[in-house]
Chain A
Amino acid sequence: MAKTLFDKVWDSHVVKKIEKGPDVLFIDRHMVHEVTSPVAFLGLRNRDIKVLFPEKTFATADHNTPTRNQHLPVKDYLSSKQLKALEENAKYHGISYWGLGHEKNGIVHVIGPEHGITLPGATIVCGDSHTSTHGAFGAIAFGIGTSEVEMVLSTQCVMQPKPKKMRININGQLNEAVTPKDVALFLISKLSTSGATGYFVEYSGEVFSSMTMEGRMTVCNLSIEMGARGGMIAPDDKTFNYIRGREFSPKNENWDIAMEYWKTLKSDDDAVFDKEFTFDGSTIEPMITYGTNPGMGISINSGIPSSNQHEGNKETFLKSLEYMDYSEGDKILGKKIDFVFLGSCTNGRIEDFRAFTNIVKGRKKAPNVTAWLVPGSHKVEKAIKDEGLLTILTESGFELREPGCSACLAMNDDKIPPGKYAVSTSNRNFEGRQGPGSRTLLASPIVAAAAAITGKVTDPRYL
């Protein structure tokens, strides 16, 4: 029977099928961080068992770490306790741990691909919903809860019913200044934040095949924001070239064996999806959000919809505008902003810093804007310096911070103050996500760069 890419990877990982129940799915790679793991490790201790396959689990510290003075002890007592717990747990169970200050440290979903942990055809999980990022390599990757983290630590499996399958095709060429982030925000605005709930998405078409690996990661990262379990893209030469030679990727004859398998990883021509959407890439504009969920996105040149135009609950919609202090029909262009956040597992890779720098080069940061530029990993940080981007950024009035999740979820000190507006390249604009009372406008690195220069929402094409 014809199979989709998703079927091929899923089916080959099923240890056992439970009738009228979930599948027992074997997990190849497990990423662990300090926030969602302590209770899981505690569970193992209570059952008096050890991690079954420690070599398949990789731990890093990223969620609540400071982005300044990482060489000093972490000041926040609770954060430092979580970090210490992870370090001890990793040591006790023999798991590799790339803690604060380690050269391989960074956001889980940035370091996995960087070191060849993320591979095509693998099943990858982590206690963080944006695990979907790794799907860019043709892996099945999804976020899990802490009970499941405990399951994977103790048995290397999760139990889940097989999701339905959706394919999203985007053909044509993207316009100038339209980035992978805009493609994703466009899709979420079309499908809504629950449009893909219950599905696993495969992205296909010209737009994705001509995208860089970094771009594909951005798109897959945001799959979860339309409710999908995850998203994936069939691996191609770009994928293989990216992986080749990285620390944990297969070497020599193992590489050849892996390649044989990887080349089979695409949906059969006659494979059937439960749902399919097709869009024309040339209709997508630079996007920005105006509300409190990622589905509330519009093209940067249009107005905020009125509650009548909005599908869904009117009260919820108006509550959201009230939170943002925006009115129906307002133009989003020209809205004043206070903060810019470049970073996160959505847009914290080197390509994002290149795009941002390209816009601010030869210009100056607006004096009323506070900008937090946070690389996704030390590797990204090093590239920023090596490529000379830091010099340009400094000349334009920006400073670079140390890697971590930072203002994406504001568990550390990087909190947007109440009532302030931030143009953020991260993934969620929920009420208070970036700090209590903070107001978030999600956008691409270049829209963020334009806003950092002018101090207001600006179309980068007319800067």
Chain B
Amino acid sequence: MAYEKFNILESTAVPLPIENIDTDQIIPARFLKAIERKGFGENLFRDWRYDSNNNPKKDFVLNNNKYSGKILIGGKNFGSGSSREHAAWAIYDYGFRCVVSSFFADIFKNNCLNIGVLPVQISPKFLELILERIYKDPLTLIIVDLRKQLIKIQGSEYYENFEINNYKKNNMLNGYDDIDYLLNLKESIKNFSKKTPL
């Protein structure tokens, strides 16, 4: 599925510094019944965002209009749990293009990269610093430069480099997906299949 190209993102950010945010919190299983990839943003963090009568919970950050933007700042071990890509879709559909954390769960990270959400892993210290700045001033701009693999707090000398493999980086810069790549390999895949015993 094609997605928006990612180059430089400059945006305010939403702080959610809880550890071990799992995919069931990002999108509860009962909202996985769609057969199309639409409308998942409404149910992002559903049970943290709304009470059982569907009223917004005041103390949850997505309901606090002080904070907004295309960057979500999460706590350590973000995205643990299920392989459901719906979690990444919900994040994308809500409007986030980048999730920042000091540690990501594997499958979640991979899913994000496949659908155009950039997971940026930074040191716990830098994470603290970003949070501190945002809490002090919610209008603080964060700059994420994919080409340079760099994340920076606007108007400060603070920045850090992040890792991403070259192949995925190119895909994101160009809005390509893996299937385009694999379909071009079809003949070698077919030949390969003849060698496999199973």
Contact partners of A169 in chain B: CB under 8 A? none
Within 8 A of A (CB), among B5-41: 18-20, 22, 24-25, 28-30, 32-37
Q: A414-445: which residues lie under 8 A (CB-CB) from chain B?
A: 418, 428, 430-433, 436-437
B interface, size bucket: 35 or more
Smallest beta-carbon distance B80→chain A, Å: 5
Given contacts A78-B33, A194-B80, contact A147 B167 (CB under 8 A): no
Chain A residues whose CB sits within 8 angstroms of the CB of B47 once the complex forms: 431-432, 436
A432 near B18: Cβ-Cβ < 8 Å: no
B55 within 8 Å of A (CB atoms):
no
How many residues from A make CB contacts under 8 Å with B? 80
Q: Which of A147, A160, A316 contacts B75 (CB 8 A)?
A: A316
B115 contacts the other chain (Cβ, under 8 Å)? Answer: yes
The answer, among A161, A257, A432, for a CB contact under 8 Å with B165, is A161
Choose the segment among A23-31, A232-240, A369-377 that binds chain B (4+ C-beta atoms closer than 8 Å): A23-31
Stretch of B62-70, B83-91, B138-146, B151-159 with 4 or more beta carbons under 8 angstroms from chain A: B83-91
Residue of B nearest to A12 (CB): B196
**With contacts A197-B103, A227-B106 known, is A147 near B83, CB below 8 A?**
no
Partner of B181, one of A35, A78, A159, A315: A159
Name which of A120-128, A281-289, A385-393 contacts chain B: A120-128
> Would you give the shortest CB distance from A57 to chain B, in whole angstroms?
13
Which B residues are in CB contact (< 8 Å) with A145?
Answer: 83-85, 88, 107, 110-111, 114
CB distance from B133 to the nearest CB of A (A): 20
Q: Which of A41-61 contact B (CB under 8 A)?
A: 42-43, 47, 49, 52-53
Other-chain residue from A128, A161, A319, A436 in contact with B28 (beta carbon distance below 8 A) = A436
CA distance A37 to B113 in the complex (A): 19
Q: How far is the CA of A129 from the CA of B111 in the complex (A)?
A: 12
- Which of A13, A22, A39, A154 is the one whose CB lies under 8 Å from B167? A22
* Given known contacts A52-B186, A193-B77, A430 and B167 CB-to-CB distance under 8 angstroms: no
**Which of B107, B111, B179 is within 8 Å of A150, CB to CB?**
B179
Mask, A1-37, CB within 8 Å of B = 1, is 0000000000001011011111010101100000110
Residues of A within 8 Å of B182, CB to CB, are 24, 151, 154-155, 157, 159
B 90-128 contacts with A by CB, 8 A: 103-107, 110-111, 114-115
Give A275 Cβ to nearest chain B Cβ, in Å. 15
* CB-CB contacts below 8 Å: B180-197 with A: 181-183, 185-186, 188-190, 192-193, 196-197
In the assembled complex, A79 has its CB within 8 A of some CB on chain B: yes
A147-B177, A436-B47 in contact; A155/B185 too (CB < 8 A)?
yes
Distance in Å: Cβ of B102 to nearest Cβ of chain A: 11
A43→B179 contact, CB < 8 A: yes
Contacts A227-B105, A430-B24; A147 near B198 (Cβ below 8 A) = no
Q: Does A85 contact B (CB under 8 A)?
A: yes
Residues A159 and B178 in contact, CB atoms below 8 Å apart: yes
CB of B189 within 8 A of CB of A15, answer yes
Known: A43-B1, A78-B33. A144 touches B83 (CB 8 A): yes
Does the CB pair A81–B20 fall under 8 Å? no
> What DSSP secondary structure best describes chain A's contact surface?
loop
Once A122-B198, A316-B19, A319-B18 are accepted as A-B contacts, the answer to whether A157 and B189 lie under 8 Å apart by CB is yes
- Tell whether, in the assembled complex, residue A20 and residue B189 are in contact, meaning their CB atoms are under 8 Å apart: no
Q: Is the CB of A194 within 8 A of B103?
A: yes
Shortest CB-to-CB span from A305 to chain B, Å, is: 16
Residues of chain A lying within 8 A (CB to CB) of residue B33: 35, 64, 76, 78-79, 81-82, 411
Interface string of A220-261 (1 = CB under 8 A from B): 000000010100000000000000000000000000011001
A436: chain B residues within 8 A (beta carbon): 28, 30, 47, 52
Q: At the interface, yes or no: A313 with Cβ under 8 Å from chain B? A: yes
Smallest beta-carbon distance B136→chain A, Å = 19
Supply 10 A–B pairs (Cβ within 8 Å), ascending by A: A15-B192, A26-B196, A35-B33, A79-B33, A145-B111, A155-B185, A261-B197, A293-B20, A436-B52, A437-B52
**Interface contacts beyond A157-B189, A436-B28: sample of 4 additional A-B pairs, CB < 8 Å, sorted by A:** A16-B185, A47-B179, A229-B107, A409-B24
Which residues in A have some Cβ–Cβ distance to B below 8 Å?
13, 15-16, 18-22, 24, 26, 28-29, 35-36, 38-39, 42-43, 47, 49, 52-53, 63-64, 76, 78-79, 81-82, 85, 119, 121-122, 127-129, 131, 142-148, 150-151, 154-157, 159-161, 163, 193-194, 197-198, 227, 229, 257-258, 261, 293, 312-313, 315-316, 319, 409-411, 418, 428, 430-433, 436-437
7 smallest beta-carbon distances between A and B, as pairs? A21-B167, A143-B83, A145-B85, A78-B33, A38-B35, A145-B111, A20-B166
| Residues of chain B at the chain A interface (Cβ within 8 Å) | 1, 18-20, 22, 24-25, 28-30, 32-37, 47, 52, 75-77, 80-86, 88, 103-107, 110-111, 114-115, 165-168, 177-179, 181-183, 185-186, 188-190, 192-193, 196-198
